[in-house]
Amino acid sequence: MESFRESSVVLARKYRPIKLSGLVGQDMLVLALCNAISNNRIPHALLFSGIRGIGKTSIARAFAMSLNCIGADGSVRSPVTDACGLCSNCVSIIASSHCDVIEFDAASHTGVADMRSIIESVGYSSSSARWKIYIIDEVHMLSSSAFNAMLKTLEEPPDKVVFIFATTEPEKIPVTVLSRCQRFSLERIGLESMVDHIITILDKEGIKYEKSALSIIASASEGSVRDALSLLDMAILKSGGGDIVADIVSNMIGISNREPARILFSQILSGNATGVIKVFDDMYNSISSIESLMSRIMEVCYHATLIKIGNKDIVYRSCQTDYVEKIESIIESTKLSVILRLWQVMVNRGKVLTGGFVSKIEIEMFFVELCHCSLWPSIDDILNIVDNKSYNMSHNVCDTKHGNVNINGSSDSIKQETSEVSNVCVNSSCIIKNNAINSNSIGVSSNIPITNRSIDILNDVNNYFPNSVIVE
């Protein structure tokens, strides 16, 4: 019966570190705490901040164990950097049942009355432990009154009392509280460290694996150990006791459909609106939400950017080789500025498209817009086009595909419009008002007259570069 209960514990709990030496990826923090113990400079208030599942509460418990460990034979009389994990104090702290190590959930006890109960108990000395420890999780959830109530106690606590705060949002904690604490920011776990940690666990569990599958799990966890081990639990269930392979993991966490998203992105880059609509129609029934769809496409755009700037190795860590090679192929002749422009449009429009119910028609029109945007020249291209007299100044139509030249007007008017567009495009704070450039930017004088044809050009540019030019 006991073995069944032990095997049913999720990996995140089963392999939760109990000692400072067992923490993953927090070497500098562990060193600082060990130095505090070795030099007898124990801070009376500490704040651990970082993303979810990174070890904030675990390190608080480990530090409490180090302060109160008495050794397996009861002979240890002072704090140690490496707790035994076997003495009565250590066992009770691991089980969260020690009467002198109080864990307090600020998310469910937010009021001043809850804080008052802690303040009143601080005055009593510890029963059996060397130090009395208060671990307050999600401390940013406390009310303003609760924070104010603890200030005096936090500044001058009784001897042998330590407050340890844990939070994911330190910016919400009043500065009056922050100034009374020693602050430590826990780092995200690196990809290689996370993979090594997962391998250690799987070796202990006797489970075979593909390293590429573990890289996908580590990448999807975004630096959170708990997230990684939760995904690993799911992968073990999905594999049915067999090897953990990349295909199973990809399908499990929803990245197996990268190929349709890649094809979609390829059609967008080429400006093929017909192809985009067809690919989207094929994948529409398989997507769980618009947010999921946007996430996949933006992920492909992100990978394309990394490859374009020479960081291909980062993409290889979480993606299959054939996927990376296909991305390389489709962006080979594409400028980085085009990819970044698509990213900016997806970020701006995506906020609207994911804000509520969105119809299939709206998404299709959005993709057509992206196709058009991919063919739109950059600001440098526009300046070159105008300078080379290849912009149709009479109809504000720029034929970027065939480079047609159709200019109506005298050379003087062309020079004037070239100068106007150039002045506006290179000064991002320009405002067009009453047919004049109005700007305080260096190199642009105020109230320079501008023709209606140049305004037409700038209106078109402004559709895809929000806030770059304001036309009133």
Write the DSSP assignment of 338-388 as a string of letters: HHHHHHHHHHHHHHHHTSS---HHHHHHHHHHHHHHHHSPPHHHHHHHHHT
Sign of torsion, CA 419 420 422 428? positive
Mapped onto helix, strand or coil, the DSSP state of residue 452 is: helix
Pairing, β 448-449 against β 436-438: antiparallel
Question: Which of 47, 68, 58, 74 has its CA nearest to residue 20?
Answer: 58
- Which residue spans within 65-200 are E strands per DSSP? 101-105, 132-137, 161-167, 182-185
CATH superfamily of 2-185: P-loop containing nucleotide triphosphate hydrolases (3.40.50.300)
Describe the strand order of the beta sheet including 101-105 as a list of residue ranges: 101-105, 132-137, 161-167, 45-49, 182-185
Q: How far apart are CA 469 and CA 265, in angstroms?
A: 28
Q: Please state which CATH class domain 191-252 belongs to.
A: mainly alpha
Helix axes 411-425, 452-464, angle to 10 degrees: 30
Helices (H), 128-239: 144-155, 175-178, 191-205, 211-221, 225-239
pLDDT at 392: 42
pLDDT at 286: 66
How many angstroms separate the first and last alpha carbons of the chain?
76
Q: Say which amino acid occupies 160.
A: K
pLDDT at 114: 87
**Which residues partner with 455 through β-bridges?**
none
Q: How far apart are CA 445 and CA 442, in angstroms?
A: 8
Q: Domain boundaries in the chain?
A: 2-185, 191-252, 258-375, 379-471
pLDDT at 128: 87
What the block records as the tokens of 147 is 């924070």
pLDDT at 215: 85
How would you write the pLDDT of the chain (472 residues) with one tens digit per residue?
444 444 578 999 999 999 998 898 899 999 999 999 999 999 999 999 999 999 999 999 999 999 999 998 888 989 999 999 899 999 999 998 999 999 999 988 888 988 988 998 998 888 889 999 999 999 999 999 999 999 999 999 999 999 999 999 999 999 999 999 999 999 889 888 999 999 999 999 999 998 888 988 888 888 899 999 999 999 999 888 788 988 888 778 765 557 778 888 999 998 889 988 988 887 777 666 777 777 888 889 999 999 999 888 888 776 767 788 889 988 988 888 889 889 988 888 766 666 556 778 888 888 888 888 888 766 666 656 555 544 443 333 333 333 333 333 444 454 455 454 444 443 333 444 444 444 333 333 334 444 555 555 555 555 544 444 444 4
- pTM as predicted: 0.67
Any long-range contacts for 13-18 (C-beta under 8 Å, 24+ apart)? 15/201, 15/204, 15/229, 16/58, 17/55, 17/58, 17/62, 18/58, 18/61, 18/62, 18/65, 18/83, 18/85, 18/90, 18/94
What the block records as the tokens of 357 is 């119910």
Confirm or reject CATH 1.20.272.10 for domain 258-375, answering yes or no: yes
